[in-house]
Structure 1
Amino acid sequence: MNYTLHQLQVFYKITETLSITKAAEELHLTQPAVSIQLKNFQNQFDIPLTEIVGRQIFITDFGKEIAAAAETILNEVYAINYKTQAFKGQLSGRLKISVVSTGKYVIPYYLTDFIKNNKEVELEMDVTNKTKVLKALKNNEIDFALVSILPKDIEVESKIILENKLYLIGNKSVDINPTNDLVAYTPNYPLIYRELGSATRISMENYIDQNGIKSNMKLQLTSNEAVKQSVIAGLGLSIMPLIGLKNELEKGDLKIIPVKKLPIITNWRLIWLKGKKLSPVASAYLKYITDSHEKINEAYFSWITNY
């Protein structure tokens, strides 16, 4: 056998993404290049590593064994590279962060300078739903998670980095009711919900329950972007985090509907497993966040205080 590290990397990425297209995107290669590397790698084995059913690629049991071995080999190669950089006095390693979907409006601003100033640090960031974020945290697959509500079944340590405000949002055609009561809107405007398990959904349902509001859910969507566009289109109202609404509020496509006991206020927190031994990179990042988050907030999020 004469396979290369590059072939191992390509094959392992395919097993992660289950897609030639996605693997090519993440590796910054063309699809034909990935397909050729996969074919050359598979040809060195008498047992199939993958199967194509329809247009979907599946990893065989043998392929999964090879993928696990490839991961081990690649991690050892990474470790050699990191040790080389550390010997030269440079911070190096991988920083793994999982972020709930709305956190995509937040976390980039807390990463940019750290990554720029530590060019040997590799960033792995997954933006996904809350369930997957907490699963990755619980399984110790990541260094940090960014959430707005602390998990109840996982012992964590946390660092507050930014206030999170949730308001009732409507489009520009909604007439403001002087009673400032949500029930005045529900007969004419359906409430648009996020999916079950979403932190935004939990906050919205808690508010509705605590205030004895009866509302039939007619629309449930899986991202804040989808909710936002639906509100702009006039499909209904929703309680949404302010953090992703700056441009739409400034342009007048959306407006805050003043109602009693809003906004809901939580906090964006960087969390990690309690007792976790942080890597040098993770420790350096936590120190960076502790030292810099107020300056970052002033530079990029001072507009939040206007609402």
Structure 2
Amino acid sequence: MHYTLHQLQIFLKITQTKSITKAAQELHLTQPAVSIQLKNLQDQFEIPLTEVIGRQLYVTDFGAEIAIAAEKILSEVYAINYKTLAYKSQLSGRLKLSVVSTGKYVIPYFLSDFLKQHKGIELVLDVTNKARVIESLEKNEVDFSLVSVLPEKLIVESIELMQNKLYLVGAADETLPSKSYTHEILQELPIIYREQGSGTRYTIERYISTHNLNVQKKMELTSNEAVKQAVIAGLGYSVMPLIGIKNELLNGQLCIIPVKGLPLRSVWNMIWLKNKSFSPVAAAFLLHLQKEKARIINEKFSWFEQFVSKDNI
């Protein structure tokens, strides 16, 4: 047999995502490239690794066994690389994080200096919705997770990073007659939602429920960027985190609609399972956050702190 580590890596990702398309996206490869590597690996076995029923891809029992073996092989390869670096007295290993989708505007700045200082560290970063983030933490698949809403049924420890604020926003050219509103304005506007499982969706639905509002859901989209573009295009309004709309506010594509009771406030927290045994890399990263978070916020997010400190926008 002449299978390659690259083929094993691709096949393992396919078994995890149950989709060639999703595997390609997560590996930053084209779908045809992933399909070709799957076929090349399959050609070396007489027993099917996967099967397609309807339009759904399934991993066979044999494929599941190969995936387990592939994960062990890849883990050993990573271990060889890390041991080589450790022998040179370099901090090395994998740092595994899951981050809610709007957290992608936050987490790079808390990682940048740490990864530059420790070039032997491999970052595994999964940016997804809140439900998947909590699932990955619960299964102990990651070292840390970044969330703006703490899980209710999971015992975790946390470190606060920075505040998160959500405002009602619309396209800048969608003018409204009044300069300020009560929460009833949400009943009069077509509201664009994030998908179920999103932390932003959870926060706004809790607000709507608290005020017994009858809100018109215009559409539901699966990413913050998709919501943002829909709002800019004038398809509706949305309650969005300030952290993700800085450029659009500054260049005049979006505007904040002042509503009494908004912004909705939460805090970005880095969380981990209580009593988790940290690897040297994870322990070093936590220490980095504790020591450097104030400096990082001051250097990278001063615009945010100044912006949200205003009583009226």
| TM-score by shorter chain over 0.5 | yes
Q: Which residue matches 1:269? A: 269
Q: Residue 251 of structure 2 corresponds to which residue in structure 1?
A: 251
Over 3 Å counting, the alpha-carbon distance change for 1:275 and 1:246 in structure 2 is same
Quick one: structure 1 residues 265 and 55, their matched pair in 2 at CA, closer, same or farther if it must change by over 3 Å?
closer
* Superposed counterparts of 1:141-290, under 5 Å: 141-172=141-172, 173-175=174-176, 177-178=178-179, 180-184=181-185, 186-187=187-188, 189-290=189-290
Aligned to 2:139: 139
Change (3 A) 1:219 1:29: closer
Gaps of at least 5 residues in structure 1 are none
C-alpha displacement at 1:206, in angstroms?
2.3
Q: Aligned letter for 1:306?
A: F
* Conserved 8 A contact 1:177-1:184: no
How far apart in 2 are the matches of 1:10 and 1:212?
Answer: 48
How far apart are residue 120 of structure 1 and its match? 1.1
Q: What is the letter of the counterpart of residue 101 of structure 1?
A: S
- Secondary structure (helix, strand or coil) at the match of 2:187 reads coil
Per-residue deviation, 1:145: 0.6
- In the alignment, structure 2 segments of 5+ residues that lack a partner are 309-313
Q: Distance in 2 between matches of 1:19 and 1:214?
A: 37
TM-score by length of 2: 0.87
Task: Please say if residues 24 and 31 of structure 1, whose CA atoms lie closer than 8 Å, have aligned partners that are also in contact.
Answer: yes
- Looking at structure 2, the residues matched to 67 and 274 of structure 1 have their Cα atoms a distance apart, in angstroms, of 30
Measure how far apart 1:262 and its partner are: 1.3
User: Which amino acid is 2:184 matched to?
Assistant: V
CA distance in structure 1 between the partners assigned to 2:8 and 2:89 by the alignment: 29
Deviating more after overlay: 277-286 vs 221-230: 221-230
Relative distance call for 1:42 and 1:216 in structure 2 (3 A) is: closer
Q: Equivalents in 2 of 1:198, 1:18: separation in Å?
A: 21
Cα distance change, pair 205–34 in 1 and its aligned pair in 2 (3 A) = closer
Q: Please, what TM-score do these two structures have when normalized by structure 1?
A: 0.89
